[in-house]
């Protein structure tokens, strides 16, 4: 029987910043941390951004080895899987590649891996990096490279929650109206494929009445109890669902039995507006006491944010523009409804000055948010908090790390609900990819659980020109 070859995995900075425990993910193989990578991680350890937390977590993992081994063994620190953890310095400048002469960490990694491969021809060295450009450069030098697979979702296509569609006859429709519970039970038994669907899968029963060209539908969720008809398309804080996808989304948002709801989709599909409308409707004593609106601050380094004028609230305000726009829209809808009510009252009646008489300034909006117990904050401020009986919206969730998403969910107290919004194809965090972000991991891990609902919104509802631009550009 052939002996299994021990590989040597050289880790890039982005790997350990995405997963501080990455050194344990390579089974019996050796793990190499180049000193330039260690230095780069050190430079990130100060601050409150997610990468700063990840850098400190990785350094804490390394410190555990020092506690057990005061001096570095010649073969490296032993790893639980059987391999060893090694630290290697960068090559002297005179030995570096002429092909990539720039003094960068990336090119020092290429130099090091190429040198190791040349000097140890019987051993296999693999550069592990989530930097696509670096992997391309490695290929030009015949260096083996691969992305960090341990923190990646296997099948991205499964992350796009689809609606299950089934055509039914008019006889079945009549049976449904006569005995809804009996119909659902019988229909499931006659359609075993529906029985196998994950819990909280949207199900759309389609039919076409005789002498009509119009298609009709009945909408259900696949639950532990069978098929559950979703709520009617009632007005929710001034808005109604504009399509089938939004109807399913609103149903799950308003259902207290589903504490985790994920809405994905491109810009203009209504994710944020639906979530905010549902939150405002549910905020009431005895149900949910307050709402937290959060998003990761990936665009800002701590230095940049620190130099912005004003308080912490004023510093993060520019990044909540989309949230404020949607809230102002909902506020205006409420005002219009209030005005119509006032006009229907007896003429000549004097009324107090209300929100409907106020200008749509940001100051007024902030007061309105305060009245409704809505609070915006940077996601990093969730650490260490407990959030009971709260509604939490996480916007731009595709820019969270898996660890950060775990941190969010473990903050939830009794009676809380979290709404996660994002588009896994639009990632701004340089250390994350379509398969490695927190939103993707959430959907992958929770799919099929009764506590979780996910739907991918595909129909643009912002405007015709916005939809056209999304398709053509």
Q: What is the pLDDT of residue 51?
A: 82
Q: 202: which 2 tokens?
A: 């949207």
Domain 243-332+359-473 belongs to what architecture?
3-Layer(aba) Sandwich (3.40)
Distance CA 78, CA 23 (A): 11
CA distance 12 to 19: 11
Nearest CA to 64 among 28, 27, 23? 23
DSSP string, 40-92: HHHHTSSSSSHHHHHHHHHHHHHHHHHHH-SS--TT-EEPTTS-EEEEEPPPP
Predicted local confidence at residue 261, as pLDDT: 96
CATH 3.40.50.1010 applies to domain 7-151: yes
The Cα–Cα gap between 236 and 399 comes to 29
Percentages helix, strand, coil for the chain (3-state, rounded to 5) are: 45, 20, 40
Which is nearest to 378 in space by CA: 439, 431, 290, 316?
316
User: Residue-wise pLDDT tens for the chain (473 aa)?
Assistant: 445 677 999 999 999 988 899 999 998 999 999 999 999 999 999 887 778 888 999 999 999 988 777 777 878 899 998 999 999 988 877 777 776 666 788 989 999 999 999 888 889 999 999 888 999 999 999 999 998 877 667 666 777 778 999 999 988 999 998 998 889 988 988 888 888 899 999 999 999 888 788 889 999 999 988 899 999 888 998 899 999 999 999 999 999 999 999 999 988 899 999 999 999 999 887 788 888 888 887 654 444 454 455 555 666 666 777 888 888 888 888 777 767 666 665 555 544 434 444 444 567 777 888 887 888 877 766 666 777 888 999 999 999 888 888 888 888 888 899 999 999 888 887 777 788 888 998 998 999 999 999 999 998 876 666 666 666 55
Beta bridge partners of 165: 204
**pLDDT at site 357:** 42
Q: Reduce the DSSP state of residue 267 to 3 states and report it.
A: coil
- Tokens found for residue 398: 């595709």
In the prediction, which pLDDT does 463 show?
62
pLDDT of residue 155: 67
Which tokens belong to 23? 């050194």
DSSP 314-342: HHHGGGGHHHHHHHHHHHHHHHHHHHHHH
pTM: 0.74
What pLDDT is attached to residue 250? Answer: 96
Residues ≥6 apart with Cβ < 8 Å to 126: 7, 8, 9, 10, 144, 145, 146
Equal CATH topology for 7-151 and 243-332+359-473? yes
Q: Which residue, chain included where needed, has tokens 């912002």?
A: 462
Contact 251, 282 (CB under 8 A): no
Buried/exposed 58-89: b ≥16 CB within 10 Å, e otherwise: bbeebeebeeeeeeeeeebbebeeebbbbebe
Burial class of residue 406 (count of CB atoms within 10 Å of its CB; 0-12, 13-18, 19+): middle
Query: What residue spans define the domains of the chain?
Result: 7-151, 156-229, 243-332+359-473
């Amino acid at each position: 029987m052939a002996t299994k070859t021990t590989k040597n995995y050289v880790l890039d900075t982005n790997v350990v910043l995405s997963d501080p425990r990455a050194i344990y993910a390579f089974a019996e193989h050796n793990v190499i941390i180049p000193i330039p990578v260690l230095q780069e991680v050190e430079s990130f350890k100060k601050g409150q951004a997610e990468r700063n937390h990840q850098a400190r977590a990785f350094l804490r993992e390394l410190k555990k080895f020092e506690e057990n081994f005061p001096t570095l063994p010649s073969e490296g620190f032993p790893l639980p899987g059987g391999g060893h953890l090694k630290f290697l310095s960068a090559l002297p400048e005179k030995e570096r590649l002429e092909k990539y002469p720039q003094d960068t960490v990336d090119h020092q990694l290429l130099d090091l891996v190429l040198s190791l491969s040349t000097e140890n021809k019987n051993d296999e060295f693999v550069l592990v990096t989530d930097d696509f450009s670096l992997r391309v450069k490695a290929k030009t030098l015949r260096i083996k490279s691969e992305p960090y697979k341990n923190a990646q979702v296997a099948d991205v296509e499964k992350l796009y929650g689809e609606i299950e569609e089934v055509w039914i006859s008019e006889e079945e429709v009549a049976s449904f109206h006569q005995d809804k519970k009996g119909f659902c039970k019988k229909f499931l038994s006659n359609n075993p494929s529906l029985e196998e669907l994950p819990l909280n899968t949207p199900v759309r029963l389609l039919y076409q009445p005789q002498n009509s060209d119009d298609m009709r539908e009945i909408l259900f969720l696949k639950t532990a109890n069978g098929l559950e008809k979703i709520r009617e398309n009632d007005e929710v804080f001034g808005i109604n669902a504009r399509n089938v996808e939004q109807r399913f989304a609103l149903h799950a948002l308003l259902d207290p039995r589903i504490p985790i709801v994920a809405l994905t989709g491109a810009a203009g599909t209504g994710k944020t507006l639906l979530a905010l409308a549902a939150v405002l409707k549910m905020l009431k004593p005895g149900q949910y006491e307050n709402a937290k609106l959060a998003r990761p601050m990936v665009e800002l380094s701590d230095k940049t944010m620190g130099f912005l004028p004003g308080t912490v609230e004023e510093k993060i305000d520019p990044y909540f523009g989309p949230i404020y726009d949607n809230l102002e829209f909902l506020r205006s809808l409420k005002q219009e409804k209030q005005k119509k009510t006032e006009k229907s009252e007896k003429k000549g009646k004097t009324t107090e000055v209300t929100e409907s008489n106020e200008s749509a300034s940001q100051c007024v909006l902030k007061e309105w948010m305060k009245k409704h117990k809505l609070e915006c904050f940077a996601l990093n401020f969730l650490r260490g908090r407990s959030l009971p009986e709260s509604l939490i919206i996480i916007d731009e969730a595709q820019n969270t790390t898996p660890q950060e998403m775990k941190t969010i969910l473990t903050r939830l107290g009794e009676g809380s609900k979290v709404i996660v919004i994002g588009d896994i194809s639009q990632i701004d965090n340089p250390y994350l990819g379509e398969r490695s972000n927190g939103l993707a991991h959430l959907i992958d891990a929770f799919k099929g659980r009764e506590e979780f609902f996910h739907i991918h919104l595909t129909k643009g509802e912002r405007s015709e020109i916005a939809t056209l631009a999304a398709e053509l550009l």
